[in-house]
Structure 1
Amino acid sequence: AKMIVEWNQRDRICYSCILLALSNVLFDVYSSSIMTSRRLWEELDKKYNTEDLGLGKYSVVKFLKFLMVEGKSVTEQTHAFLLLLHGLVEADMKLPEKL
């Protein structure tokens, strides 16, 4: 039971981090749903992940495919995530505002 509680707490943190990276419109849509962080990620991936696009859209694809993995430090992975966000800014790309 303790492991389930801990998992749920960590999942809510991940879910919140994903929501915070979304535009206001997408945040409003997805924050009203109760789902796991994995399901949220998979829904966003299915909706916005496209292949073989220009550099800016490639940055969005890389952002959507980003995964935290065990065995790497959280600091290192957070840095990689921030680099992806910086890439989106540099390419003047934004996550889609419209569903």
Structure 2
Amino acid sequence: MVNHPPYSVVVTYSEDPQQLTMQAVDSARLASLVAASMAVPFFLDDEEVKFDDELARQLGVAMLNVIALGRPEIKKLLNLTQHPIDEPPEV
């Protein structure tokens, strides 16, 4: 079995070609770079953390929303349910 360092994942959107790219980066090497960056906490339910389809969907929605903050042209492409699928939206 190969021993990997703890990874962080960087998701980048590029226009040409239009794609999302994920990069696995050694977390220790990335620490100094992200220290001055905007942090967007993604809270997990402390009592029953499950890495399931709904968590993955919500994480994906959060990542795309953050990418769209810096690229307004992407905002118009987003057709996402912002709340958990099994819960009604907050009013």
Structure 2 length normalisation: TM-score?
Answer: 0.36
Q: Compare the two structures and name the one with the higher strand fraction.
A: 2
- Greater RCO (CA < 8 Å, at least 6 residues apart): 1
Structure 1 length normalisation: TM-score?
Answer: 0.34
Q: Compare the two structures and name the one with the higher helix fraction.
A: 1
